[in-house]
Structure 1
Amino acid sequence: MVEKLISFSLKNRMFVLLVATFLFGWGIYSVQQNPIDAIPDLSENQVIVFTEWMGRSPQLIEDQVTYPLVSNLQGIPKVKNIRASSMFGMSFVYVIFEDAVDPYWARTRVVERLNFAQRLLPQNAVPTLGPDGTGVGHIFWYHLETNTMDLGEQRALQDWYIKFALQTVPGVAEVASFGGFEKQYQLVLDPLKMQYYNVSMDQVMKAVQANNNDVGGRKFEMSDRSYIIRGLGYLQNSTDIEEIALKNYNSVPVKVRDIGSVQMGGDLRLGIFDADGKGEVVGGIVVMRSGENANKVIQGVQQKMQEIQKGLPEGVRFKTSYDRSELIEKAIASVKGTLLEEMLVVSLIVLLFLFHGRSALIILIQLPISVAIGFVLLQAFGISSNIMSLTGIALAIGVVVDDGIVMVENAYRSISERQQELDTNQ
């Protein structure tokens, strides 16, 4: 079989060159299309269901949220396992699917079950799906540097401007904010005054919710013109909240300020984010969508950050905390350097020992084509270019070089011996 293949190749040299050129071009195309990342994605194919029910104990979360969800999510096709954890005010359910399952098909099936399971949960507990990322999807971290804004203002800038802008970058599944304080209006109520005016906590909550709303009216026509009537009732500041009427007490309206005070504060925090031991900072974590090219996504995020920088307040700038593209570029540079070094060393060895330029050229052509075929196979099997796969290619280059030297030297020796026999016979 080998003799027939060698004979066919010798008789059809142009065909062999065309096949080699085609494989090399296909390899270049695969390199451009193959996702590039620093580390291999070995995480399981999972869908995360997150439910928030603040103020409840882990045991209550487990009984009324986690258990009903796990019970109803069982039986989904192609599910390997379901895991769950409950903590203060939050529930996490991890639905593990088989590796061959399309992640978006899996998310669709989970949503179908959640629509049915929703009726079993408490009224204020609404389950949501986590981002369509993976365990290694945190590809870029950043924080804000400024001397003119407090942590609350920085968090508001992050949540209402920067986050929404970065989520438009192709390949980004989510931008998770961290650090700072989430601003909120806090009502500090006096229980003695509430008892005196006979006002309950539920009355206060319903009154505040009802008074924070815009209502629509009818169309009013006057002097051949039409006017749309609407009531503007959204709360603008703490004074508006203090003026909300709760009930009448001896024909006198009881307002929020009569039973307590309103202040601007921060939401409950379960941790802080510190940068290099110099103090708290506010920033975000960019989560990549599953199956995307990490290097391209990071480049898109960096370009978008340059555009966002123009709209930030004076004195506010981005500071990169973690950038995986640096590790990716170093891994690629290492493979390129290994390939060039081995090609140079092998060609010199062949030239020194054989003194034959065509023999060295054969090995030089063989190396890039072998690497190109390797990337074709990576693309075909859906394996990303990462440290593990690139290191494997770099190690395989040495094996290819050794085989090439042995084969070329053996062929050169056989041809020389055959040539000597022909010269002797003549």
Structure 2
Amino acid sequence: MLKQFIERPVLSTVISIILLLLGALSVFQLPITLFPDIAPPSVQVTASYPGANAEVVARSVANPIEEAVNGVENMTYMTSNSSNDGSMTLSIFFKQGSDPDNAAVNVQNRVSKAMSQLPQEVVQAGISTQKVQNSMIMFMGLSSTDPKQYDELFLQNYLKINVIPQIQRIPGVAQAQVFGARDYSMRVWLKPDRLADNNLSPQEVLAAIKNSNLEAAPGRLGQGSKETYEYILKYKGKLNQNTDYENIVIKSNNDGSFLRLKDVARVEFGSYSYTASNRVDGKPVAGFAILQTAGSNSNEIITEIEKQVEQMKTTLPKGVEPIIMYNSKDFLDASIHQVVETLVIAFILVFIVVYIFLQDFRSTLIPAIAVPVAIIGTFFFLNLFGFSINMLTLFALVLAIGIVVDDAIVVVEAVHSKMEHTGLPVDQATRESMSEISGAIISITLVMSAVFVPVGFMQGPAGVFYRQFAFTLAIAILISAVNALTLSPALCALLLNDPQGEHGHEKKGFGARFFNAFNVAFNNMTKKYIYSLKFLIKNKWVGVGGLALITLITIFLINKAPTGFIPTEDQGFVLFAVNTPPGSSLERTHKATAQIDKIINGEESTKHLWVADGLNFISNANASPYAAGFIKLKDIDKRGAMSDPDQIAAILTGKVSQVKDASTFFFN
């Protein structure tokens, strides 16, 4: 079988070229992410009970939905959060590998069964069920340079009406999640004393508003009659002006006059909710996070979003400007650029080392060709298995460069040795060499694969995280073995020189002198190595003692080394969460975060600071005693003496401790 590849080098070449082409095409189809997605599939159910406190929401909304959803197929656990603003969030987590779309459908079916047990106000407000996307690729917003003209209420609604729909139309965007949304609404502030004077309850006022605020189809006049004209009746429909609401009749008095809404309440056009407030660098802002769908290319999505932002700038009101707080493309591009640079450097170093030892350009070319065939060909299988281009797969390819040349070097060395010791012509020497070493190449490949493949079958988050690393490396090794059994022997038969043809031609020049000096030095080192081996063989206790000492030192260093799931990296931001005393109002929380603002903005490393009063970072719910913040750092060369995000977080932790009315936690 192997003789056919030696005798038909075109066949071997075509196989490698096909593999290269498939790999090259797959590079442009593979999604690009920072790390593999390890978060288990999850579905989120959200509901709202206007006016209810957290206890009422938990009892009347959360409990019925939890009982209905509990036990849904492939579910592992669920958590719920009920807030005093009337909102309820239920997160259901599923086994790794579950289809998130099917999970969302199954949860929706369970929620539908619980609808009859929920308060009518909750059903009317609507219950949302959606799969959760965990990969945030961008965090941006609209800020106002003129807060008096464009406040947060305007920004939030301009964002919802004009910006979010455009962003969500971009392929690959799963969700645009707005923080602290403030929807336009008509606020009715009741006057308790006026209600008491007129013997009214809030429910009666609410009923009057509902009865006067209807959509209706009044029909037509003149149909089926002898009238000349037909009239279509128009109904004003739902009210949209303050005066319309103010003139709603609540009841008629005994004297024939009417009691109107403006007599017992103050009506204003404002926000549906005042449970959160956002600002960036002290100015109002409407912020939102952009999440990508699974398997999409984040770089392509961000490029399209940036185009939309540039177009948006021409239509934004004067005094409103977009601000980008976080862009994963910048960090991802820099990280991938560094890894690709390392990949190229590794290839060059491998080529130089192989050339120094083989001391023949043609011989070096054979294992050098094995590298791109194995590396680029691996991308085809990454695409086939649904993997992505991420830091782990690229690191695996960097490591693979030094491994995939081994098999090709074994082939070249075996052919050289056969020609030197037997004097056979290159084609015959290649055939005999391959018959001797093919079994060794296969066994080496199986052993190397057996080291990495089991990592891909580990359970839990670590197994999911490192699966792509292990399989990428194993695939590259397997391709290199196929290459060593097909292309490398064919190239040996074509490229290697017959030693009989080179006989009597002594090489001269700088290269020859360098290689002669290298061979002398290497031979001397080999002699010293052999002498050391003889010494260790005679004095076995020295070798055993040295091994024991190295083992003890290794164990000591392992225990001293810090541990973690993955190394922390500088992505150019620091997060923080603020807790104020339980029951604190939004105004009290704002006063505390205003002091924190001054401290953070005083740091040399701070570029932008976004703060959301009333946002709980942990539950992602609105609650007035909490606040969250996002610090965008300057470029690393402009941060001053302290450039590491962990160091910056530690310094800020110490400085904000002087704010007595808040507990602040910084993390990277």
Relative to the length of structure 1, the TM-score reads: 0.88
Of the candidates 255, 267, 272, which is equivalent to residue 277 of structure 2?
Answer: 272
The alpha-carbon deviation at position 258 of structure 1 amounts to: 1.1
Q: Is the 8 A contact 1:154 1:180 kept in 2?
A: no
Aligned position for 2:296 = 292
Give the whole-Å Cα distance in 2 for the aligned partners of 1:375 and 1:392: 12
Q: Is it true that 1:242 corresponds to 2:241 in the alignment?
A: no
Aligned position for 2:142 = 144
**Secondary structure class of the residue paired with 2:402:** helix
Q: Is the 8 A contact 2:145 2:283 kept in 1?
A: no
Aligned position for 1:410 = 413
Q: How does 1:88-127 map to 2 (within 5 A)?
A: 88=84, 89-126=86-123
Give the whole-Å Cα distance in 2 for the aligned partners of 1:270 and 1:410: 74
Q: Is the 8 A contact 1:131 1:174 kept in 2?
A: no
Aligned position for 2:569 = none
The alpha-carbon deviation at position 321 of structure 1 amounts to: 1.0
Structure 1, residues 39-84: CA drift from partner, whole Å, max 9, x if none?
Answer: 2211001111122224333333332222222221233333333333
Aligned position for 2:657 = none
The alpha-carbon deviation at position 376 of structure 1 amounts to: 2.5
Of 22-31 and 335-344, more deviation after overlay is shown by 335-344
Aligned position for 1:160 = 161
Give the whole-Å Cα distance in 2 for the aligned partners of 1:350 and 1:225: 97
Structure 1, residues 394-424: CA drift from partner, whole Å, max 9, x if none?
Answer: 22223334x2674366236424424647789
The alpha-carbon deviation at position 212 of structure 1 amounts to: 2.5
Of 70-79 and 20-29, more deviation after overlay is shown by 70-79
For 2:382, give the aligned amino acid: L
Of the candidates 311, 335, 347, which is equivalent to residue 315 of structure 2?
Answer: 311
* Paired positions, count: 418
Q: Is it true that 1:60 corresponds to 2:56 in the alignment?
A: yes
Give the whole-Å Cα distance in 1 for the aligned partners of 2:302 and 2:397: 24
Of the candidates 22, 26, 30, which is equivalent to residue 18 of structure 2?
Answer: 22
Q: Is the 8 A contact 2:33 2:388 kept in 1?
A: yes
Aligned-pair RMSD on alpha carbons? 2.7
Q: Percent sequence identity over matched residues?
A: 24
Give the whole-Å Cα distance in 2 for the aligned partners of 1:415 and 1:57: 86
**Secondary structure class of the residue paired with 1:369:** helix
Change (3 A) 1:192 1:133: closer
Give the whole-Å Cα distance in 1 for the aligned partners of 2:32 and 2:298: 6
Structure 1, residues 19-38: CA drift from partner, whole Å, max 9, x if none?
Answer: 11111111122222211111
Of the candidates 15, 25, 28, which is equivalent to residue 32 of structure 1?
Answer: 28
Give the whole-Å Cα distance in 2 for the aligned partners of 1:105 and 1:20: 41
Change (3 A) 1:365 1:226: farther
Of the candidates 365, 373, 383, which is equivalent to residue 369 of structure 2?
Answer: 365
Change (3 A) 1:177 1:75: closer
**Secondary structure class of the residue paired with 2:131:** coil
The alpha-carbon deviation at position 143 of structure 1 amounts to: 1.7
Of 390-399 and 412-421, more deviation after overlay is shown by 412-421
Q: Is it true that 1:383 corresponds to 2:383 in the alignment?
A: no
Structure 1: runs of 5+ lacking an equivalent = none
Give the whole-Å Cα distance in 2 for the aligned partners of 1:84 and 1:261: 36
Give the whole-Å Cα distance in 2 for the aligned partners of 1:28 and 1:132: 33
Aligned position for 1:216 = 217
Relative to the length of structure 2, the TM-score reads: 0.58
Change (3 A) 1:373 1:131: farther
Give the whole-Å Cα distance in 1 for the aligned partners of 2:308 and 2:14: 43
Change (3 A) 1:76 1:188: closer
Give the whole-Å Cα distance in 1 for the aligned partners of 2:235 and 2:301: 45
For 1:387, give the aligned amino acid: M
Give the whole-Å Cα distance in 1 for the aligned partners of 2:265 and 2:58: 35
Aligned position for 1:77 = 73
Q: Is the 8 A contact 1:207 1:244 kept in 2?
A: yes
Structure 2: runs of 5+ lacking an equivalent = 426-498, 504-668
Q: Is it true that 1:326 corresponds to 2:330 in the alignment?
A: yes
Higher relative contact order (CA 8 A, sep 6+): 1
For 1:253, give the aligned amino acid: F
Change (3 A) 1:141 1:16: same
Aligned position for 2:476 = none
Structure with the greater alpha carbon radius of gyration: 2
Aligned position for 1:259 = 264
